[in-house]
Amino acid sequence: MTVRHRDVEVNGVRLHIAEQGEGPLVLLLHGFPESWYSWRHQFAPLAGAGYRVVAPDQRGYARSDRPEPVDAYTLLHLVGDVTALIGALGESSAVLVGHDWGAPVAWATALLRPDLVRGVAGLSVPPAPPAMLPPLSLARDRYGEGFYQIGFQEPGVADAEFARDPASTLRRILFNASGDNPRVEEPRPWVVPEGMTLLDGMPEPDALPGWLTEEDVAAFAEDYRGSDAFTGPLNWYRNIDRNNELLTAFQGRVVEVPALYVVGDRDMVVSLKGVDFLRANLHLVAPRVHANVTLAGCGHWTQQERPEEVNAALLDFLAHVEEVVPA
C-alpha cells in the first residue's frame, strides 16, 4: 500500500488529503507549523491494522486553499471542514486524531458532533471546552505581552519573519520545541523578550535529532513556499478570542465519545498554567477516557518524536473503539 494524494472540496474550500488503507475511517489532523507530512509514521501501521487513514492539509495550510479573510479560520469553520470531509469521503463517521492545533479541532468536533465521531485522540493539547484555548486576556495576565500567541496577533509580522527562510524557520521551531533541545532543562512557555522575535530565541541546531532529517525539513519547507504561506496558519491564532465568543453557548458540554490523550513530559504545553489541572481532571471533561499517556523525554512533536509509542497507543485505542480485521 502507498500513500495516495488528491484534493477534496469541503465547506467552501479545497483540501489536499493524503490517504492509505481501507476500513473504518481515521482522520489525522496536524498542527502548527506542519502539514499532512507530520503523520508520515502513522500511515502504514494504521492502514496495515485495517483502517482507512486520511490526513488533510487543514484550511490555510500547505497545498490546501488559503482563504484571505482572517475570520474564515474560526474553530467552527475548522470543525465544519472535518464534518464535511467525513461526508465527502463517503463515510458516516470517523475516529479523529489531532496534534497541537489539530487537537482542539478534534476535541471540538467530538464535542459538537458526537454523532459523527466514534472516538477522539488528542496529542499534546488536552480538551478545554468549549473553545479549547483560553482568551488572550487571560494569556496576557499569565505570561505578559511577550507570549507567542499574543505576538502572532499582529497581521503580517510573524508571517514575514517565518516566510523569509521557511527551511530555517521550520528547522528552528521543530528542534527547539522537541525533547532533544539541550538548552531547555524543563519545558516552559514561549515568552519572547521585548525587542526580540520568536525565532531570535530559537537558534539553528548544530545537528538534527534522530527523528528529524534534512529531507523531512525540506518536505515541510516545500509546503511553506511563498510570502503568504504562514498567514493562513497564523490566522488560526488570530481567532482565539472570536472562538471564545462563538462557542460560549456550549459551555458545560463534555466530550461524550471514547477518548485518548498523549503528551510528552518535555512538551512546552505541559508548562502552561492550567494544563496540569486539565490533565488531572481529564475524566471530568471526557468521561469515557480510555488512557491518559505521558511519554518520558518527549517534546511537543509527539507522533514524530515517538512514533512507535504513539502508534501503539493509537492502535490500542482504536481496538477499544471498534473491532477490525487487519489488512
Pairing of β 4-10 and β 94-99: unpaired
Cell numbers that stand for 89 in this block? 469521503
Nearest to 320 by CA among 283, 287, 288, 294: 288
Cell numbers that stand for 52 in this block? 482507512
30 is catalytic: no
Cell numbers that stand for 118 in this block? 466514534
DSSP 37: G
Cα torsion 156, 157, 159, 161 to 10°: value is 140
Q: Is the peptide bond before 182 cis (omega within 30 degrees of 0)?
A: no
Residue of 100, 180, 223, 267 marked catalytic: 100
Residue of 16, 99, 290, 300 marked catalytic: 300
Q: Identify the three-state secondary structure at position 56.
A: strand
Task: Please name the residue ranges forming H helices in 123-185.
Answer: 136-143, 148-151, 157-163, 166-176
DSSP one-letter string for 200-269: GGSPPPSS--TT--HHHHHHHHHTT-STTTTHHHHHHHTTHHHHHHHTGGGTT----S-EEEEEETT-GG
- CA distance to 31, 90, 210, 243, 303, per residue, from 300 (Å): 11, 33, 15, 23, 9
Q: Are 26 and 52 in contact (CB under 8 A)?
A: yes
267 is catalytic: no
How many Å apart are CA 127 and CA 104, to the nearest integer? 7
| Residues linked to residue 14 through DSSP beta bridges, in sequence order | 9
- Residues with a catalytic annotation lie at 100, 300
